[in-house]
Chains A and B, each alone.
Chain A
Amino acid sequence: MSEDLIKIRDLKVHYRTGRRLFGSGSDVRAVDGVSLDIRRGETLGLVGESGCGKSTLGRAILRLTEPTSGSISYDGEDLLSLSGGEMRRRRKRLQMIFQDPYASLDPRMTVGQIIAEPIRTFESVSRRDAESRVTRLMETVGLSPKFIRRYPHEFSGGQRQRIGIARALAVEPEFLVADEPISALDVSIQAQILNLLQDLRAEQRLTYLFISHDLRAVRHISDRIAVMYLGRVVELADARDLYDDPLMPYTQALISALPVPDPKVEARRERITLKGEIPSPLDPPEGCHFHTRCPYAVESCKRSTPQLVEIKPRHFAACSRIGPGTPDIRSV
């Protein structure tokens, strides 16, 4: 298989909260020991409930949020040991697409200025050259170049997201973190943006980390999918494999919640309803984070933290009750 572009090892991002005048507050463990490899040219989908740390993980990879510990190796180089200035130069290769296309564009700049900003930051180009590159980029993402002097508030959500994508592509990056790029858009526009992202990946040989809570969108675009729960990756598999044969009870519940577009099947569909709320990342449960809601939890789940293990070929799960010999938790 192809080489790994990014290797994340035991990455932790903890936020300090509730700091008082005296004494320290407690930590929010947004990302709590994640290890992931992202292969060159693939799309890795990252799914999970809101608040599970998936956006924080995406930002931490780009060091927009400073990780607390762990390592991120990008193309063989440790990103976390770079100085601010060195990291700034690496940003040419790692870009990001944001969730909210209304908030991620500066309202006082024209579309041309927004897309040209990364170009002007990294390269000394003439105004004319920058403009012609912006024009090409706008065509690439399906925007008419005649709108180059317009302002973001004059566009629809889908068009703004295209502007955001054009800005991310402006310096020809290799790796894109797409942080819920379609969740703020209408369903009809979502498909357009997904298809645009897929076409761009093929044309420009991009690698994506596609973060979303929309399981269908993730299945549509991803080669592999990682499932996060309370700051940890609990399952990682090829996209098809994950949907056809989810191993973790949490993943099973997620996938069983997806409606099926066939009334007969939908009527007979068996749904796994998880009891309780997602615990607070301020005070996550001991042992396996999922044991408070897991229908199969036993006493040992409260004590030992399961590691991500290859249960089946290329299919990893973090559950101490299943193993290569006993992959089906329902029969354990």
Chain B
Amino acid sequence: MNELPKTGKVEKGASLWRDAWQRLLKNRLAVFGLVVLILMSTAVIVGPAIIEWTTGYTYDFIPDDPTLYRSMPPSAAHWMGTDDAGRDIFARVLQGGRISLLVGIISTAVSLIVGVTYGSIAGYLGGRIDNVMMRIVDILYAIPYILIVIVLLAVFGSSNSPAWIKWLAATVGGEGNQGLSQIILLFFALGLVSWLTMARVVRGQVLSLKNQDFILAARATGVRVPGIIFRHIIPNTLGPVIVYATLTVPSVMLTEAFLSYLGLGVQPPYASWGSLANDGIKNLAIYPWQLIFPGLTMALTLFSLNFLGDGLRDALDPQTRKF
């Protein structure tokens, strides 16, 4: 245009991603959530090794004479005290954090893969196929998901788990690792029930996108169908998908905690925040730290995830964007 000076310097544009990132950084709660999550992840990854190296405690270390160490209050040696078997709760909380965060991330990844594929197929093909596919989702929605998970865990749990899960558990944690295969089953069971909303979110996005003029323009310029889906449709659905995934992680973690609390989820010697809380509640009146520390750690993580998710939604969704 006439009013633009013609200089040789190429100006870098602000992509929508960078715009969103800038908006996210202005949101204090979201930044708080992000920092806490980074610290928490670092702690659960390297923490157990450091504790073991400095003090010799691990999540399943029981001292030779446990009676001397049972249910001790927090001290310099045991920051969060010990549980009723004499194990260091700090080490167990960090180890449990690994399982809890992994459950959240892997189950969300499973729901992401299933949900995005299912939703985009239904949305892009449309018509009768879309109708049938979304009615299936409606039917699954009508069944309480917790019931599905409980049935799955009861049927395929412990010794009945399918061969591929046993194989996976054996590869990761050695032969005959019953507790590990239970955890892996939990990952998939939770993932398989949490993809429903993801599929709906993605389908809605694809439906509104596929009639946009820029998709028509891509067709008019001869772009093939895969090019349209991968270059135009998927990048434009990513915003809401990321937001929804971030909010799925805490809800899955909460479900895991609930199941472990009921004794269906993670089995000893493995621990998760939910199973630690379950152990702690028995002694709540006498040794409150056994519940307080796992509970606080989990609450802090869930808050952070929700803050981050809300921040991402504000940053990525142009409808709620504040100028």
Using a CB–CB cutoff of 8 Å, the interface residues on chain A facing chain B are 59, 62, 64, 88-89, 91-92, 95-96, 98-100, 103-111, 117-118, 121-122, 142-151, 153-154, 158-159, 162, 164, 167-168, 170-171
A-B CB pair tally, cutoff 8 Å = 103
Judging by beta carbons under 8 Å apart, are A158 and B221 in contact?
no
Contact residues in A for B5 (Cβ distance below 8 Å): 144
> Which stretch of B9-17, B118-126, B285-293 is in the interface?
B9-17
Using a CB–CB cutoff of 8 Å, the interface residues on chain B facing chain A are 1-2, 4-16, 212-214, 216-224, 227, 231-232, 235-236
Judging by beta carbons under 8 Å apart, are B15 and A91 in contact?
no
**Known interface pairs A89-B222, A121-B222, A153-B16. Does A98 touch B217 (Cβ–Cβ under 8 Å)?**
yes
CA gap between A157 and B6 in the complex, in Å: 20
Judging by beta carbons under 8 Å apart, are A64 and B218 in contact?
no
B193 CB to nearest chain A CB (Å)? 31
Q: What is the chain B residue whose CB lies nearest that of A107?
A: B16
Q: What is the chain A residue whose CB lies nearest that of B2?
A: A142
20 contacts between A and B (CB under 8 A): A59-B216, A89-B222, A91-B221, A95-B220, A98-B213, A98-B217, A99-B213, A106-B218, A107-B214, A117-B231, A121-B221, A121-B222, A121-B227, A143-B1, A144-B6, A144-B7, A149-B11, A149-B12, A151-B14, A170-B221
Other-chain residue from A105, A122, A151 in contact with B214 (beta carbon distance below 8 A): A105
Judging by beta carbons under 8 Å apart, are A104 and B15 in contact?
no
Judging by beta carbons under 8 Å apart, are B16 and A106 in contact?
no
**Known interface pairs A146-B10, A149-B13. Does A62 touch B1 (Cβ–Cβ under 8 Å)?**
no
Judging by beta carbons under 8 Å apart, are A149 and B10 in contact?
yes
CA gap between A111 and B213 in the complex, in Å: 16
**Known interface pairs A106-B236, A149-B10. Does A144 touch B4 (Cβ–Cβ under 8 Å)?**
yes
**Beyond the given A117-B231, A164-B217, could you list 11 further A-B residue pairs with CB under 8 A, ordered by the A residue number?**
A59-B216, A96-B217, A104-B216, A110-B15, A117-B218, A121-B223, A143-B4, A144-B1, A146-B6, A149-B10, A167-B221
Contact residues in B for A159 (Cβ distance below 8 Å): 1
Judging by beta carbons under 8 Å apart, are B217 and A146 in contact?
no
Of B4, B16, B216, B224, the most chain A CB neighbours within 10 A belong to: B216
Judging by beta carbons under 8 Å apart, are B11 and A150 in contact?
yes
CA gap between A148 and B4 in the complex, in Å: 13
CA gap between A96 and B5 in the complex, in Å: 29
Q: What is the chain B residue whose CB lies nearest that of A159?
A: B1
Other-chain residue from B2, B12, B223, B236 in contact with A117 (beta carbon distance below 8 A): B223
CA gap between A146 and B5 in the complex, in Å: 10
Q: What is the chain A residue whose CB lies nearest that of B211?
A: A103
Other-chain residue from B11, B221, B227 in contact with A147 (beta carbon distance below 8 A): B11
**Known interface pairs A106-B214, A110-B13. Does A96 touch B220 (Cβ–Cβ under 8 Å)?**
yes
A219 CB to nearest chain B CB (Å)? 25
B232 CB to nearest chain A CB (Å)? 5
CA gap between A150 and B223 in the complex, in Å: 22
The 4 closest A-B pairs by CB, nearest first: A150-B13, A118-B221, A104-B213, A91-B222
CA gap between A11 and B2 in the complex, in Å: 42
Judging by beta carbons under 8 Å apart, are A64 and B220 in contact?
yes
